[in-house]
Copies of this chain bind each other. A is one copy, B any other.
């Protein structure tokens, strides 16, 4: 079936406007390692997908899934050892204070639960988020989807603060002074909640501000911002749906890059390498207090198949040293992009962590106006040349480079040389 027919069927069955990538979408039929294949056998280097974090159809993960699916799959109101093995291993990758977990089916469910917990524990309703973010698709979580609501919070109980950034900073202040400028915005939001009589529950941030475009965070910002949050009795929720599971290279979790330990950490996308698996970790006092009053049960959450798959993903991250690879190959990609920046004026900034890199395309280096149309052309042209990537950021002009973690230097060379060609041909 050709793309035209497929798109017509999508309109008829999924509704007009079901989101799809690329001017001419790709029709994928097979995946392996960092590779995807379309219906005509064309090979694509996957430089976008973090869900297949340890590689598409990784045999160790597939085997675990196959084996447990054929053995038993029941809910957590029966006893099963796998959930305990998995949660023990998962919490061991976190700070000691984060010793308990809930397992869910999606990052949305994890963020829903985190917000419910924060509001229940603090007795407040007010949540702070960034002004260019997205954390999921349910009603309560959608209130924070500033990226889709003109960069504004959707409800009185949510306030959006400017995300910290150094490329187009809020003020001329530098270093710690700039961190203060941004942290003061958090303080201001907390004060506004107080003035409006809305109790403060906490802050929900992606610790590397992925949707915001992976900004360089002014040094000390997270410490200062979270001090304000905690002084006001609020909780820090870190959404690790994109930044977690070794993605940043230097650390297993994005929050470890700043050194500020959250009260709740939510996880999702890469957790099951594509199997619907997500959840959160939090401290024992918090979880026990919540459990005491709230009956929370998740039908599929924590089932043995989820846990077997989650364990296998952790196995592969360890066995294949994917965190190291994220660090070294990530740096290699970043170095290569910085070389391209010297050659192609359109690249205004290169930043990121490990194998999560943004390359910002701008009209010029002084105005820093986003090269929006060119960014779209680059993404589509890269796809034509067999490389899948995407865009992020408020100006929709940042190339989003977030491949499966087994991404090699050879893969990086292919990405860099193709990008070089495409930029030269603009």
Contact = CB atoms under 8 A, between A and B. Distances in A.
B25 A79 contact: yes
A49 interface: yes
| Identical subunits present | 2
A20 B109 contact: no
A158 to B, nearest CB: 13
A227 interface: no
B66 A288 contact: no
Contact of A109 (B77, B78, B108): B108
Contacts of A275: 69, 73, 276, 300, 305
B15 A148 contact: no
Contact of A291 (B17, B70, B100): B17
B19 A299 contact: no
Interface residues of A, number: 92
A74 B51 CA distance: 8
Given A17-B291, A29-B72, A287-B15, A274 B303 contact: yes
Interface string A219-232: 00000000000000
Contacts of A292: 16-17
B56 A72 contact: yes
B31 A102 contact: no
Contact of A14 (B14, B25, B87): B87
A1 interface: yes
**Across the A-B interface, the 8 shortest Cβ-Cβ residue pairs:** A17-B291, A276-B276, A31-B72, A73-B274, A15-B287, A105-B105, A27-B79, A276-B300
Interface of A: 1, 3, 6-7, 9-10, 12-21, 25-31, 36-37, 49, 51-52, 56-57, 62, 65-66, 69-81, 83-84, 87-88, 91, 99-102, 104-109, 112-113, 115-116, 137-140, 142, 148, 268-269, 274-276, 284, 287-288, 290-292, 295-300, 302-303, 305-306
7 contacts: A16-B292, A17-B291, A21-B78, A28-B78, A148-B295, A274-B300, A276-B276
